[in-house]
Amino acid sequence: MEDPQVTLEIAILPERIEDLEDARELDAAILRNDDRPPIPWDEAKRDLGLA
């Protein structure tokens, strides 16, 4: 008989892996940014054509 908790954990595993990959990408981007100041949100939106 299958354990419902195990089935649930297996079902959400791809989402957890994606979250981990996103966190690793964010960490790498932070390291690449060094000590440069962040881009203000309004400027980023304008540069992306969102504002």
**8-state DSSP, 36:** P
**pTM of the predicted model as reported, rounded to 2 decimal places:** 0.61
By the 8 A CB rule, do 16 and 9 touch?
no
The Cα 14–Cα 21 span in angstroms is 11
Residue 35 has a pLDDT of 85
Mean pLDDT by runs of 10 across the 51 residues of the chain is 92 97 95 91 96 82
By the 8 A CB rule, do 51 and 45 touch?
yes
Residue 1 has a pLDDT of 77
Residue listed under structure tokens 């000590």: 35
